[in-house]
């Protein structure tokens, strides 16, 4: 989205089509505020208001874009973040969605989508309900030629074992009840077939005029539509594929008009058996905003992460749970959309502004981020905000912390592009680190391979990708034994320079548990900052 580049102490901040020069900055390294401040010190009203004004300005420019073009995408980010929560048990998720399903007014889109999922994944469960209510399908077939042919035309030909679906039900019922319905069978030939003849040659049913026969049954043989033969043909749920909408409406009536216990039971089982992630991904996005807010309010009672017991490296994927647990229940959907976007969806928000923002909006974001992150008088910029957040402990406090962390993400994404800048940042902010790459000076085979690779003028990162893709490339062999002292020293120097300007790091921020590249560090660092501040503010 943006590129920060230092040239002679001048910060150039430009998107793909923008190049502008910003204020002069000092050589002070960016402060991440990872040392806990003294809460007893009183910040001046002026310093607090100046800091809040910048953060509120950043919020305003984000919403100037997101409220119009990006609201639906913001909602999708929030729903995806909810789907990734790990602390929701099957019992919790069942209670959450059942509360929504039983609430008024009726959540028709939610119910329809849930039934659609049930029909797709567990059609036999729905089929058992349909079989018990098979008489309701009389109207399903009445006057509908396509449905009749789709269900009742599966008669077996010569060499096939048996009829299937509605054809099997029709033939079995006709034989058992031939005294009351055989004359209603319509045949395509010049004369009809007798029961005895068809019993010995079942393939004769292929000559049955299915449409006219079923129409006769609809008018003159009502017993068929509640028969065990017809019910049995419905038990596997295949009938659902003919017209899902009809059966969705049928099940809605059974649930809310008839309050049929069996339907609620299979829905309860379905909600308990599916993963929380699956349910959220398919159900939350179709909720009306008011209903989504109801769901999020309900969700707050189930997420109770203990900030005091959490370590940073165990909690960065639980940021939304932390946010929800600390909201006071009076927050709006807009506020949760913003908090989720800046705290857990840093990359997506930055990408969206880059791709969808106007020139003016990009300029505005650039200017405000620079003002928030410029490394001058660090104690006067954010420490007063932290003290104010500690004092208030409100959802607005979470918003300020989230906006500050996102500003850091944008700044780090574009201004930190080499090893030295990252390592200086680590050192200045008391983040212990070590390089994850080794220096294979004494490994003859590995050094030879890398030296050959260096002649192709490729980076170590590209080499690793080529290895993973099993690409083959001919390279000129180097015999290290034939190199003289200066030549060997040059190879070693080149290798060390390559390793010193690239590579990944293991950091104390997550207990050295993961390897971080320059591409991933901005998000990790910004989330680490947000979690650290939240822990200070809400656990003291």
Written as tens digits, the pLDDT of the chain (540 aa) is 333 333 333 332 333 332 333 333 334 578 899 999 888 776 666 778 888 899 999 999 998 888 777 889 999 999 999 999 988 999 999 999 999 999 989 999 999 999 999 999 999 999 999 999 999 999 999 999 999 999 999 888 765 568 889 999 999 999 899 999 999 999 887 667 777 777 777 777 888 899 999 999 999 999 999 999 999 999 999 999 999 999 999 999 999 999 999 999 999 999 999 999 999 999 999 999 999 999 999 998 898 877 777 766 666 678 899 899 888 666 789 999 999 999 999 999 999 999 988 888 889 999 999 989 876 554 567 888 898 899 888 888 999 999 999 999 999 998 787 888 999 999 999 999 998 864 444 344 443 443 333 444 344 444 444 444 443 443 334 454 555 655 655 554 454 444 444 568 999 998 898 899 999 999 999 999 999 999 999 886
For residues 43 and 387, the answer to whether their CB atoms sit within 8 Å is yes
Distance CA 3, CA 476 (A): 38
- Looking at residue 204, its pLDDT comes to 79
User: Phi then psi for 310, rounded to 5 degrees?
Assistant: -80, 145
DSSP 31: P
pLDDT for res 501: 44
pLDDT of residue 39: 82
Instruction: Tell me if 363 sits within 8 A of 339, measured CB to CB.
Output: no
DSSP element (H, E) containing 506: strand 505-507
pLDDT at position 454: 40
Could you read off the pLDDT of 369-410 as tens digits, one per residue?
998 987 655 456 788 889 889 988 888 899 999 999 999 999
Strand partners, 260: none
What is the predicted pLDDT for the residue at 465? 46
Helix (H, G, I), strand (E, B) or coil at 378: helix
* C-beta separation of 82 from 299 below 8 A: yes
Q: What are the boundaries of each domain within the chain?
A: 1-82+303-415, 88-287, 444-501
445 vs 442: CA distance, rounded Å:
9
Sheet holding 433-435, edge to edge: 433-435, 505-507, 515-516
Written as six digits, the tokens of 237 are: 């749920």
pLDDT of residue 522: 95
Report d(CA 222, CA 280) in Å as an integer. Answer: 43
Q: Residue 194 has what pLDDT?
A: 78
Query: Structure tokens of 170?
Result: 């029709």
pLDDT tens digits, 19-78 = 333 333 334 578 899 999 888 776 666 778 888 899 999 999 998 888 777 889 999 999
């Amino acid at each position: 989205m943006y590129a920060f580049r230092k040239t002679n102490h001048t910060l150039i901040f430009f998107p793909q089509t923008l190049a502008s020069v910003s204020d002069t900055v000092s050589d002070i390294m960016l402060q991440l505020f990872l040392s806990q401040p003294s809460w007893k010190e009183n910040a001046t009203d002026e310093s607090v208001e100046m800091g809040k004004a910048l953060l509120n300005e950043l919020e305003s420019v984000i919403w100037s874009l997101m409220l119009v073009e990006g609201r639906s995408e913001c909602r999708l980010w929030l729903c995806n973040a909810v789907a990734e929560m790990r602390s929701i048990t099957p019992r919790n998720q069942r209670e959450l969605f059942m509360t929504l399903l039983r609430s008024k007014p009726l959540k028709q889109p939610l119910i329809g989508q849930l039934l659609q999922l049930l029909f797709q994944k567990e059609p036999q469960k729905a089929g058992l309900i349909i079989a018990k209510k098979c008489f309701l399908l009389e109207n399903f077939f009445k006057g509908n030629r396509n449905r009749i042919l789709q269900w009742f035309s599966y008669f077996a030909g010569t060499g096939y074992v048996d009829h299937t679906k509605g054809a099997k039900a029709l033939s079995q019922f006709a034989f058992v009840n031939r005294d009351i319905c055989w004359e209603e069978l319509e045949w395509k030939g010049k004369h009809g077939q007798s029961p005895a003849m068809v019993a010995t040659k079942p393939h004769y049913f292929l000559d049955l005029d299915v449409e006219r026969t079923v129409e006769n049954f609809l008018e003159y043989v009502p017993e068929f539509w509640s028969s065990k033969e017809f019910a049995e043909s419905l038990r596997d749920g295949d009938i659902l594929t003919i017209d899902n909408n009809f059966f969705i409406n049928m099940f809605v009536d059974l649930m809310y008009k008839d309050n049929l216990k069996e339907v609620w039971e299979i829905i309860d089982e379905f909600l308990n058996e599916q993963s929380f992630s699956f349910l959220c991904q398919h159900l939350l996005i179709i909720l009306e905003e008011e209903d989504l807010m109801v769901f999020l309010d309900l969700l707050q009672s189930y997420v109770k992460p203990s900030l005091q017991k959490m370590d940073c490296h165990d909690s960065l994927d639980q940021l939304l749970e932390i946010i929800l647990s600390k909201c006071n229940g009076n927050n709006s959907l807009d506020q949760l959309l913003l908090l989720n976007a800046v705290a857990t969806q840093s990359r997506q928000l930055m990408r969206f502004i880059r791709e969808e923002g106007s020139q003016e909006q990009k300029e505005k974001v650039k200017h405000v981020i620079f003002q928030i992150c410029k490394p001058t008088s660090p104690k006067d910029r954010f420490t007063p905000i932290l003290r104010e957040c500690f004092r208030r402990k409100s959802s607005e406090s979470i918003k300020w912390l989230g906006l500050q962390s996102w500003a850091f993400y944008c700044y780090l994404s574009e201004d930190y592009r080499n090893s030295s800048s990252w390592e200086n940042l680590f050192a200045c902010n008391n983040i212990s680190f070590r390089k994850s790459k080794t220096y294979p000076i004494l490994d003859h085979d590995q050094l030879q391979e890398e030296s050959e690779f260096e002649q192709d003028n490729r980076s170590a990162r590209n080499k690793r990708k080529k290895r993973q893709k099993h690409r083959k490339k001919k390279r000129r062999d180097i015999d290290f034994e034939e190199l003289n002292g200066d030549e060997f020293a040059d190879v070693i120097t080149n290798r060390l320079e390559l390793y010193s300007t690239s590579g990944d790091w293991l950091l104390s921020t997550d207990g050295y548990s993961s390897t971080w590249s320059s591409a991933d560090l901005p998000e990790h660092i910004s989330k680490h900052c947000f979690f650290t501040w939240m822990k200070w503010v809400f656990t003291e």
